[in-house]
């Protein structure tokens, strides 16, 4: 910045110059006519700008500001009043959610008490659950066992879990709600459907020869449930389907319960043996059941 | 109507003190409004040239001041002008519909300023907002260049340069060669 520019800048802000700066500027202005003209022009600018009319402030400004502040105060108070209620309701919702979650996981532990008795016939039965479905079942229940929620009556939790869902149906609820029946497939009670669905899925994947795993089925609604295999998937071997259920050692559900000591582990090799016989059906038994009832 | 006040700088300098912290927040706010509303509103009016927009900006500025007071933060005139200026810049960015260039002849008919003053004010209204704000803050509002620099977030030396250039452009605008 040249000396001329520096003086030009000083002229632009002449009002705030210090005494020393003012003296320097005056000295320069005495020697430079151009800067003198410019200084006069800048002074005239400042004077003219100070005549810019100052409009009166609309009276609404203060009223609007104060109204807005009052509104904010009210909003703040409302928030303070709402906070306890909101926090209490949030806590209640949280407790409810936790209890629902805990309750939804609780019945599985309760069903396991029924599992061992029902597992006997299937363990002894030549047919074992389809490997795919068995893996599916065990896979589903691996997560709870990892969390330590599973309390298996005997053997490893995964083993009991693998046979759990199917046997709960076989041992306990089957007499009243046969899973193969059409009315139960869709509209079962709240705790039943999951076990019924798994069981029927296992049955649906099973060929005709594997029926004995449901010994209790013939007691109440035996024919329809046993007839599950006759479903198109089991069509190639119709004669074996009716024969298989009677061959099972236990008839009524009461008989099947106490002799459940043999774990499901023996059934695993059996399942592998029966694997080739399965025609690899994919439709769940719940869907296959209605067609079964029509076959007779 | 327009009201010409010659001693604007003195009036602005008079209202510099920070509100007394011993007062309640509402009282401090009332005092702030009483002291600064006119200067602030006219500054905003010089920037945005629309009374409604200027009023909105002033209201928002005082509400910001109220929030600051509630948080026990100091509020003074440079802070108010800084907030108001930023608020006006927001309006520029939004592309608000500003009133067309104000016609200084409105004031001329009432207050009969000299032709020179009229020409300067007309030229001032044709400057860019950046030039207008620095000229207004220095000449009309009476702030020092260092204070304006604090408001705008730049050094005082930068403001001094901007002020010098704005004066040159203003002089060019009303027909005088630099």
Report the pLDDT averaged over residues B54-72: 93
The reply to whether A233 and A128 lie within a common domain is yes
For residue B122, the model assigns a pLDDT of 86
For residue A70, the model assigns a pLDDT of 87
Cα separation, A227 vs A92, in Å, equals 49
CA angle A47, A53, A56 (to 5 degrees): 145
At residue B134 the predicted structure's pLDDT band, cuts being 50, 70 and 90, is very high
For residue B168, the model assigns a pLDDT of 93
Q: Do B63 and A54 touch (CB under 8 A)?
A: no
The reply to whether A119 and A237 lie within a common domain is yes
Residue A67 covered by a domain: no
The two tokens of residue A101 are 């979650």
Residue A91 covered by a domain: no
The two tokens of residue A229 are 């295999």
How many pairs of residues across A and B have Cβ atoms under 8 Å apart? 127
The reply to whether A34 and A152 lie within a common domain is no
The reply to whether A41 and A123 lie within a common domain is no
Which of A2, A12, A25 to probe by mutation at the B interface, max B CB count within 10 Å? A12
The reply to whether A127 and A224 lie within a common domain is yes
Which of B164, B172, B174 to probe by mutation at the A interface, max A CB count within 10 Å? B164
Q: CB of A2 within 8 Å of any CB in chain B?
A: no
Q: Which structural domains are found in chain B, ordered by start?
A: 8-173 (1.20.140.160)
Three-class SS of residue B84?
helix
The reply to whether A110 and A41 lie within a common domain is no
The reply to whether A259 and A154 lie within a common domain is yes
Q: Which residue has the higher pLDDT, B88 or A154?
A: B88
> Smallest CA–CA separation between B144 and chain A, in Å?
7
Q: Do B58 and A62 touch (CB under 8 A)?
A: no
Residue A118 covered by a domain: yes
The two tokens of residue A290 are 């209605």
At A9-51, the pLDDT tens digits run 999 999 999 999 999 999 999 999 989 999 999 998 999 999 8
Q: CB of A247 within 8 Å of any CB in chain B?
A: no
For residue B33, what are the CA distances in angstroms to A66, A111, B38, B42, B178? 10, 75, 8, 13, 40
Residue A63 covered by a domain: no
Residue A256 covered by a domain: yes
Contact residues on chain B for A15, CB-CB shorter than 8 A: 138
Report the pLDDT averaged over residues A157-181: 44
Closest by Cβ to A53, choosing from B26, B107, B164:
B107
For residue B20, the model assigns a pLDDT of 61
The reply to whether A37 and A127 lie within a common domain is no
The reply to whether A115 and A247 lie within a common domain is yes
Report the pLDDT averaged over residues A50-78: 85
Q: Do B33 and A61 touch (CB under 8 A)?
A: yes
Q: CB of B144 within 8 Å of any CB in chain A?
A: yes
CA angle B38, B44, B47 (to 5 degrees): 145
> Smallest CA–CA separation between A16 and chain B, in Å?
7
Q: Do B55 and A69 touch (CB under 8 A)?
A: no
Residue A81 covered by a domain: no
At B5-32, the pLDDT tens digits run 444 444 444 445 555 657 788 888 999 9
For residue A39, the model assigns a pLDDT of 92
Closest by Cβ to B3, choosing from A13, A44, A54:
A54
Report the pLDDT averaged over residues A105-109: 66
> Smallest CA–CA separation between B68 and chain A, in Å?
12
The reply to whether A42 and A119 lie within a common domain is no
Segment of A49-63, A207-221, B132-146 carrying the highest mean pLDDT: B132-146
The reply to whether A28 and A120 lie within a common domain is no
Q: Is the pLDDT of residue A91 over 60?
A: yes
CA angle B62, B64, B143 (to 5 degrees): 65
Contact residues on chain A for B116, CB-CB shorter than 8 A: 44, 48
Q: Do A12 and B164 touch (CB under 8 A)?
A: yes
At A199-257, the pLDDT tens digits run 555 555 544 444 444 444 444 444 444 444 444 444 444 444 444 444 444 444 444 44
For chain A, what is the domain count? 2
Q: CB of B135 within 8 Å of any CB in chain A?
A: yes
Closest by Cβ to A16, choosing from B6, B30, B144:
B144
The reply to whether A133 and A241 lie within a common domain is yes
User: Given phi > 0 = left and psi -120 to 50 = alpha, else beta, which region is A22?
Assistant: alpha
At B95-118, the pLDDT tens digits run 655 444 444 444 433 344 577 788
Closest by Cβ to B120, choosing from A16, A44, A56:
A44
Report the pLDDT averaged over residues A65-80: 80
> Smallest CA–CA separation between B4 and chain A, in Å?
4
Residue A74 covered by a domain: no
Q: Do B59 and A54 touch (CB under 8 A)?
A: no
Closest by Cβ to B139, choosing from A49, A57, A66:
A49
Q: Is A63 exposed, middle or buried (0-12, 13-18, 19+ CB in 10 A)?
A: exposed
Q: Tokens 């026990």 — which residue? A: B72
Q: Do B42 and A55 touch (CB under 8 A)?
A: yes
Range of the domain at A154: 105-294
Q: Is the pLDDT of residue B164 over 90?
A: yes
């Amino acid at each position: 910045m040249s000396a001329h520019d520096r003086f030009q800048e000083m002229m632009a802000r002449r009002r705030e110059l210090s005494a020393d700066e003012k003296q320097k500027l005056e000295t320069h202005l005495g020697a430079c006519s151009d800067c003198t003209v410019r200084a006069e022009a800048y002074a005239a600018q400042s004077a003219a700008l100070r005549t810019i009319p100052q409009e009166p402030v609309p009276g609404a400004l203060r009223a609007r500001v104060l109204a807005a502040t009052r509104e904010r105060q009210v909003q703040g108070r409302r928030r303070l009043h709402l906070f306890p209620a909101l926090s209490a309701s949030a806590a209640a919702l949280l407790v409810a959610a936790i209890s629902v979650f805990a309750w939804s996981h609780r019945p599985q532990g309760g069903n396991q008490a029924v599992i061992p008795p029902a597992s006997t016939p299937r363990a002894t039965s030549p047919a074992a659950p389809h490997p795919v479905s068995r893996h599916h079942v065990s896979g589903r229940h691996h997560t709870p066992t990892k969390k330590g929620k599973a309390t298996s009556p005997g053997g490893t939790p995964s083993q009991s879990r693998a046979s759990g869902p199917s046997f709960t149906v076989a041992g306990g609820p089957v007499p009243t709600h046969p899973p193969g029946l059409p009315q139960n497939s869709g509209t079962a009670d709240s705790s039943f459907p999951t076990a019924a669905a798994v069981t029927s899925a296992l049955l649906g994947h099973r060929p005709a020869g594997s029926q004995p795993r449901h010994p209790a089925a013939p007691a109440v609604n035996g024919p329809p449930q046993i007839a599950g295999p006759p479903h198109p998937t089991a069509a190639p071997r119709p004669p074996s389907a009716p024969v298989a259920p009677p061959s099972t050692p236990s008839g009524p559900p009461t008989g099947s319960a106490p002799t459940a000591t043999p774990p499901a582990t023996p059934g695993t090799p059996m399942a592998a043996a029966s694997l080739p016989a399965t025609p690899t059906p994919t439709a769940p038994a719940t869907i296959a059941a209605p067609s079964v009832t029509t076959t007779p | 109507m327009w009201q010409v006040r010659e001693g604007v700088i003195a009036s602005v300098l008079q209202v510099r003190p920070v509100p007394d912290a011993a007062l309640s927040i509402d009282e401090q706010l009332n005092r702030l409004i009483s002291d600064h509303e006119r200067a602030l509103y006219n500054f905003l009016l010089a920037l945005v040239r629309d009374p409604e927009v200027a009023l909105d900006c002033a209201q928002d500025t005082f509400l910001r001041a109220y929030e600051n007071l509630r948080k026990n933060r100091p509020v003074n005139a440079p802070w108010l002008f800084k907030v108001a200026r930023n608020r006006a810049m927001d309006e520029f960015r939004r592309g608000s519909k500003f009133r067309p260039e104000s016609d200084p002849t409105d004031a001329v008919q009432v207050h009969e300023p000299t032709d020179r003053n009229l020409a300067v004010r007309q030229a001032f209204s044709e400057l860019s907002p950046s030039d207008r704000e620095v000229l207004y803050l220095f000449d009309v509002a009476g702030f020092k260049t260092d204070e304006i620099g604090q408001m705008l977030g730049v050094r005082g030396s930068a403001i001094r340069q901007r002020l010098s250039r704005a004066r040159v452009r203003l002089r060019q605008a009303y027909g005088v060669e630099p």
